Amino acid sequence: MRQLHIIACVKVVPKPEEVKVNPENWTIERDGVRSEINPPDMNVLEMALALKEQHGGKVTVVAMGPPMFDSYLRLALAMGADEAYLLSDRSFAGADTLATSYALAQGIRKIGEFDLILCGEESSDGATAQVPPGIAEWLNTSQITYAEDLKIVPDSGMVKAQRELAGGYEVIQVPLPCTASVKVGANEPRFMDIERKTWANAEGPVTTWNAQDIEVDPEMIGIPGSPTIVDGVAQAEATERKREFLKGTPEEQVKALIERLRPYL
Ligand SMILES: Cc1cc2nc3c(=O)[nH]c(=O)nc-3n(C[C@H](O)[C@H](O)[C@H](O)COP(=O)(O)OP(=O)(O)OC[C@H]3O[C@@H](n4cnc5c(N)ncnc54)[C@H](O)[C@@H]3O)c2cc1C
């Protein structure tokens, strides 16, 4: 039987405190800004690696973005992923979620057979949460969003997940292949393995594919393939937090604190 193959989609995003938006075209500025793996995508990596430990198989990481994403893919390899693919081409730039999910789906198609595609619940920069359902549609897989926990049901060809709902959760079971988005904080991402880091940096299998390699329709990627236009971005006003140091013995401070909180109870 073919081994379990999990694809982990990982986006590299600017650190939240450094996000800058270009006022001309409302795209994210990446130059001179420190980046990180999108936080929910760290939970994706952990979930993929834990499932591999349980069932065997392979974890492949995929990202679409500029060449500098390469070093972050090597981080994923150092955590335990087996191989990585970077979809990188100037013609991918300016993609909305439709064009992004199309390019990622084409890359995944080219990688070959898979059972499970894991994405983060949303990115910390664009934050639309539309890419995972988009990939599911392009590849015609079943889909689960906002998974807090996910298990492969042995010998059934099914995956079972607990997914978040407002004020509760539901448990659903769907057939593989499946595309699932994972809640931030769903697990505790492992640290990278230092020996694997040396291997990942020196000879880790990161393959870069351009638009031609993944056989995309040029009209469906980047700006030509993106019907969404960001019309404007507004800066939320910063609100000053109030701070007060309570004086007295610990007992007096607790009493004073309760008095302060009472109006809100
Ligand atoms: C201010 C601003 C507003 C925007 N508003 C919109 C909008 O309203 N509509 C729209 O279509 N686009 C919008 N965009 C563009 C959007 O950021 C990009 O389309 C982006 O490529 C994908 O959307 P997302 O970041 O929201 O992904 P999400 O759907 O939030 O990401 C969910 C998961 O999908 C995976 N994923 C997403 N992108 C990648 C990638 N490049 N490589 C690997 N995995 C990935 C990751 O696992 C990620 O955790 C906006 C961009 C900006 C800067």
- Whether 40 is in the pocket of ligand 1, judged by its Cβ within 6 Å, is yes
User: Cβ neighbours of residue 12 under 8 Å, at least 6 residues apart?
Assistant: 35, 36, 37, 38, 63, 65, 68, 69, 72
**Angle, nearest 10°, between helix axes 194-203 and 70-79?**
140
Q: Which of 35, 68, 131, 235 to mutate to test the pocket of ligand 1 (most atoms within 8 A of CB)?
A: 131
pTM above 0.85, yes or no: yes
Q: Where are the domains of the chain?
A: 5-239
> Which pLDDT score, from 0 to 100, does residue 23 have?
79
Query: How far apart, in whole angstroms, are the C-alpha atoms of residue 84 and residue 107?
Result: 11
Cβ burial, residue 157 (10 Å; 0-12/13-18/19+) = exposed
Rounded to 5 degrees, φ, ψ at 189 are: -60, 140
> Which pLDDT score, from 0 to 100, does residue 1 have?
60
Cβ atoms of 5 and 114 within 8 Å: the answer is yes
Q: How far is CA 159 from CA 66, 118, 121, 177, in A?
A: 33, 12, 18, 9
- Whether 225 is in the pocket of ligand 1, judged by its Cβ within 6 Å, is no
Give the Å distance between the CA of 100 and the centre of ligand 1: 7
Query: How far apart, in whole angstroms, are the C-alpha atoms of residue 98 and residue 226?
Result: 6
> Which pLDDT score, from 0 to 100, does residue 134 have?
98
Chain position carrying tokens 């001309």: 24
Instruction: Give the DSSP H or E segment for 169.
Output: strand 168-175
pLDDT tens per residue, range 63-115: 999 999 999 999 999 999 999 999 999 999 999 999 999 999 999 999 999 99
| Structure tokens given for 28 | 């994210």
What superfamily does domain 5-239 belong to in CATH? Answer: HUPs (3.40.50.620)
Query: How far apart, in whole angstroms, are the C-alpha atoms of residue 93 and residue 25?
Result: 12
Q: How far is CA 250 from CA 227, 254, 258, 261, in A?
A: 60, 6, 12, 16
Give the Å distance between the CA of 127 and the centre of ligand 1: 6
Is the bond preceding 177 in cis, omega lying within 30 degrees of 0? yes
- Whether 64 is in the pocket of ligand 1, judged by its Cβ within 6 Å, is yes
pLDDT tens per residue, range 210-235: 999 999 999 999 999 999 988 888 77
**Ligand 1 atom closest to residue 132's alpha carbon, by position in its atom list:** 34
User: Cβ neighbours of residue 264 under 8 Å, at least 6 residues apart?
Assistant: none
Per-residue pLDDT tens, the chain, 265 aa: give them.
Answer: 679 999 999 999 999 888 878 878 777 777 788 999 999 999 999 999 999 999 999 999 999 999 999 999 999 999 999 999 999 999 999 999 999 999 999 999 999 999 999 999 999 988 999 999 999 999 999 999 999 999 999 999 999 999 999 999 999 999 999 999 999 999 999 999 999 999 999 999 999 999 999 999 999 999 999 999 888 887 778 888 888 899 999 999 999 999 999 998 8
**Ligand 1 atom closest to residue 122's alpha carbon, by position in its atom list:** 30
- Whether 107 is in the pocket of ligand 1, judged by its Cβ within 6 Å, is no
Provide the 8-state DSSP code for 87: E
- Whether 65 is in the pocket of ligand 1, judged by its Cβ within 6 Å, is yes
| Structure tokens given for 263 | 């109006």
